[in-house]
Amino acid sequence: MAQSEPLPGSRNLAHGAPIGARLPSRIVCLTEETTETLYLLGEEQRIVGISGFTVRPARARKEKPKVSAFTRAKIDRILDLAPDLVFGFSDLQAEIAAELIRRGVSVCIFNQRSVEQILSMIATVGAMVGAREKTEALIARLEAGMEAVRRQADALPRRPRVYFEEWDSPQISGICWVSELIEMAGGIDCFAELARQPLARHRVIADPLEVPRRAPDIIIGSWCGKKFRPEQVAARPGWQDVPAVRHGHLYEIKSADILQPGPACLTDGLRQLHQIIRRWSEG
């Protein structure tokens, strides 16, 4: 089964699995967010393989065999695990999904790009493993946590302009859910119009001087796969007078906390964004 958009009504969990339905018991997760979701639901016993990039929860790396990177997977190793369902993410895993489908494996590819779609992904995963009540409780906790941050943000005396950099060369601004979380945390996304673009190549900032022109008060880097270097950003030609550079407001949020479209970005990622924005606003 291939899925590019959340199932219609997937947030409505009023009904569990159909009577007599056989729930998947051997699941391979090609990205971290479905692994994290199943662990949070207490359904981790269903997982038989995970992505090598998984860091949440930490114990998953010790308990589950690693069978994939992001755009590459050990197809034969996955087949040896005899999965009855494989979860993946986005068009970047389309070739992996197609090969597994050709080999007779059921595959569900999510394509969540917004906060609402992340919650829908969680709801769909929970429904597919028959964990209706636990999923409702998890979503309620996540929504309550986001609402608490939103209320605190509404009380801030000032809202800073925030430039979020997902990659440095070329410069890529933040994806939709990151932009939404910046606004939720009390900031103003400098490149909100680019955030609506689902593909990274459409969020490239062609002219590096466009960032100084938009004068961000805060710069947050999350260079997926490598450490953010604020000194390199501050040294970019023409960036010396950017308010964030002039006042030293350059910060890193680890990609595992903010760039995985799963529960972590709605909890740890959002909290870190709000802490950074609150310090600036109150300082």
Helix (H, G, I), strand (E, B) or coil at 264: helix
CATH class of the domain comprising 156-282? alpha beta
Phi and psi of 49, rounded to 5°? -160, 150
pLDDT of residue 52: 95
pLDDT of residue 172: 97
Phi and psi of 276, rounded to 5°? -65, -45
pLDDT of residue 18: 52
Helix (H, G, I), strand (E, B) or coil at 258: helix
The burial class, CB within 10 Å (0-12 / 13-18 / 19+), for 111 is: middle
Other CB atoms within a 10 A radius of the CB of residue 7 amount to: 15
CATH number, span 27-142 = 3.40.50.1980
pLDDT tens across the length of the chain (283 residues): 334 343 334 454 544 555 456 899 999 999 999 999 999 999 999 999 999 999 999 999 999 999 999 899 999 999 999 999 999 999 999 999 999 999 999 999 999 999 999 999 999 999 999 999 999 999 999 999 999 999 999 999 999 999 999 999 999 999 999 999 999 999 999 999 999 998 899 999 999 999 999 999 999 999 987 999 999 999 999 999 999 999 999 999 999 999 999 999 999 999 999 999 999 999 8
d(CA 230, CA 276): 15
Helices 115-128 and 132-154: crossing angle in degrees, nearest 10, is 160
Phi and psi of 78, rounded to 5°? -65, -45
Omega of the bond leading into 263 within 30 degrees of 0 (cis) = no
Whether 156-282 and 27-142 are alike in CATH topology: the answer is yes
Among 145, 112, 132, 123, which residue's Cα sits nearest to residue 31?
Answer: 112
Q: In what order do the strands lie in the sheet with 66-68?
A: 66-68, 47-51, 27-29, 85-89, 107-110
- Whether the model clears a pTM of 0.85, i.e. scores above it, the answer is yes
Domain ranges of the chain: 27-142, 156-282
d(CA 30, CA 245): 38
> Would you say how long the chain is, in residues?
283
Tokens representing 129 are: 């493993």
Burial readout 36-57 (b: 16 or more C-beta within 10 A, e: otherwise): bbbbbbebbebbbbbbebbbbb
Q: Which residues pair with 32 in a beta bridge?
A: none
d(CA 277, CA 283): 10
d(CA 129, CA 148): 29
